Amino acid sequence: MSPPPRKYLVHLPPAEDTTSGTSGFVVTPGFLRFVGETVFGDKWQTRMAEALGQTRAKKLSPATVHQWTTRQRSIPLWVHEALPIMITQEERRLIARADRTRELGLRLQRADKPAPRPNRRQHEPTPA
């Protein structure tokens, strides 16, 4: 039997991509969920709140993002302008992380195999 859905996910609308038209995008609760899950994965409401807050240099509560997505509060107009900025910033962060990961992998591939660890028992004095 599968566990019940997390409480904060129960009342969320289905994710919807509203960018399919050529006239821009519509910020709906479903679109916020779509962006959040696409860009941030799990815990997207918390991560989206942090990232949107950074675009305005103001702290934003994850509860506020949840209220937008459950239609308890209307989505402010500034979010429409902040989403592309937020996505670009997150893309740069992910690219930098991917580059660091690639470099680490290459260094590990080039590195000599580690020397075997000495057996500690060989170096301990024998009791008399």
Low-confidence stretches of the chain (pLDDT < 70) are 1-11, 20-23, 113, 115, 121-128
Which amino acid does the sequence have at 113? K
The Cα 99–Cα 65 span in angstroms is 31
Residue 108 lies in a domain: no
* Number of structural domains found in the chain: 1
Other Cβ atoms closer than 10 A to 39 = 18
Please tell me the predicted confidence (pLDDT) of residue 12.
Answer: 82
Can you give the residue range of the structural domain that contains 70? Answer: 14-102
Q: 79 in a domain, yes or no?
A: yes
Which amino acid type is present at position 74? S
> Residue 112's pLDDT is what?
72
State the pLDDT at residue 85: 95
Contacts of 84 by beta carbon, 8 Å cutoff, 6+ apart: none
Give the separation between CA 64 and CA 15, rounded to whole angstroms: 18
Considering the entire predicted model, what is its pTM?
0.70
pLDDT score, position 128: 61
pLDDT at 69: 93
